[in-house]
Structures are given as structure tokens and as C-alpha cells.
Amino acid sequence: DAMVIQNPRYQVTQFGKPVTLSCSQTLNHNVMYWYQQKSSQAPKLLFHYYDKDFNNEADTPDNFQSRRPNTSFCFLDIRSPGLGDAAMYLCATSGTGSSGANVLTFGAGSRLTVL
Amino acid sequence: GQNIDQPTEMTATEGAIVQINCTYQTSGFNGLFWYQQHAGEAPTFLSYNVLDGLEEKGRFSSFLSRSKGYSYLLLKELQMKDSASYLCAAMDSNYQLIWGAGTKLIIKP
């Protein structure tokens, strides 16, 4: 089945120790998103790619970086995680960046714990 | 600024009907989405409205009034598995999604 796959599902790291979260998709969607979601809060958009065109949200901290080496893969790097970065990180894709029903398909998420 | 408002939590009884309201303010409008999110899981798409009126999809229906900046999600014949958070999201003129914090729906037997 076509899908969005995130790894790892659960990541525990120490304060300041870098982590990389990965996302792959078999939907052949050209738009990929990284969201951060904390408990009982709205998902917060960190980055999105339209094909290889990178879009950084204005309030995304420099501590967060992203890479999209090809259409199918996307990575989220957190260079020096702090306690406030503990959250669920959601990868999503969509088939188009600018029309009608821009439905997002989400991966299962990567839950980050910072000790 | 852009904003989505929806109730934080609602409680309903198994087999009943519940309506979850959402009001939005966005710069331009390109549609209103509802997603369901079970605890600890990713959101899954439920419905999309871009024209005024009611869209029915099985037990779930979604309504939109663009002039009022208002939408609701109607869930009928509630089942225990419907216990989840329901996220309302509006798409602005730049095709960016503005998300609400979600309404946690608790279903009681």
C-alpha cells in the first residue's frame, strides 16, 4: 500500500545530543511537510518542500534543519535538542501545493523524548 | 491574524449524535478540513468543504458557511472508537493550513 513511513517511532535522546528523524513516501507526492505537535496543541508547521523547493517557516528555530535528497525521502535534524523540543514530529505529504483539496497524508509520527 | 477556534473537549453518549463547531479567520480561504486524531497517533483525513453546505460521508457530515467563517462536524450513531481529537484546519490564500488545537471527544457507554 502507498504510504508515508516515519522512523523511528520513538526516539529518546539526551539534552543537546543531535537526532535525525526520517520520512519516506511511496505516494509520489511532490509536497512534503514536517510538523511539530505537542500534547493537546495544534500541529505547528516547521518546514515544507514543494519538490526540492525548500520553505522554512519564519518562526522555526535554527536548531531545526531539514533535507530532502530526493522525492521519496525527507529528514528532520535537531542539532541540540532541548527539553522544550520533546514532542511528536509528524511528516506529511500532499499531491499538489496549490489547488483544491490539498489533503495531507500523515505518517505515524516520531515521538521524541529529551532527558 | 489568522485563527481557528474550536472547543477543547466534549462528552457524548454511545449511539447519540454530537456536533463539533469550528470558527475560522484566515487571509483568503481555500477550504476547510476536518481530521481525526486518536491519542498518540497521526491525524487522518475526514472531510473537506470549499463550498457552502453540508457534505455527508457515512456517519460523519461536515458543514460550511463561508460568510460566517463557520464549520461543524456532525457525528451520528456514536461508537466508542470515535473517542479521539477532531482537528479543524482552514486553508488560506497561500494554500497554507491554519490548524485548530483540536476538540477531544469523550464517548461514554
Contact A83, A28 (CB under 8 A): no
The region, left, alpha or beta by phi > 0 then psi within -120 to 50, assigned to residue B8 is alpha
Q: Predicted confidence band at A99 (pLDDT cuts at 50, 70, 90)? A: very low
* Interface with B, mutate which of A106, A110, A112, A113 (most B CBs under 10 A): A106
Burial class (CB in 10 A: 0-12, 13-18, 19+), A23: buried
Q: Per residue in A35-79, pLDDT tens?
A: 999 988 999 999 998 888 888 887 899 999 999 999 999 999 999
A93: pLDDT strictly greater than 90: yes
Sequence-ordered list of residues with C-beta below 8 angstroms from that of A38, at least 6 positions apart, any chain: A86, A87, A88
- Within A1-115, strands assigned E span 4-7, 10-13, 19-25, 31-37, 44-50, 53-56, 64-70, 73-78, 87-94, 105-106, 110-114
Q: How far apart are CA B102 and CA A42, in angstroms?
A: 7
pLDDT at A96: 62
Q: In angstroms, what separates the C-alpha of A41 from chain B's closest C-alpha?
A: 5
pLDDT at A19: 97
Contact B89, B71 (CB under 8 A): no
B43–A43 C-beta distance less than 8 A: yes
For residue B47, the chain A residue with the least C-alpha distance is A103
Helix or strand holding residue B65 (H, E): strand B60-65
Sheet holding B53-57, edge to edge: B3-5, B18-25, B70-75, B60-65, B53-57
Q: Per residue in B12-38, pLDDT tens?
A: 999 999 999 999 999 999 999 999 999
Of A40, A99, A106, the CB nearest to B43: A106
Contact A47, A54 (CB under 8 A): yes
- The pair phi, psi for residue A44, each rounded to 5°, is -110, 120
Q: Which residues of chain A lie closer than 8 angstroms to B48, CB-CB?
A: 101, 103
User: Which neighbouring-strand residues pair with A77?
Assistant: A20, A65
A106: pLDDT strictly greater than 60: yes
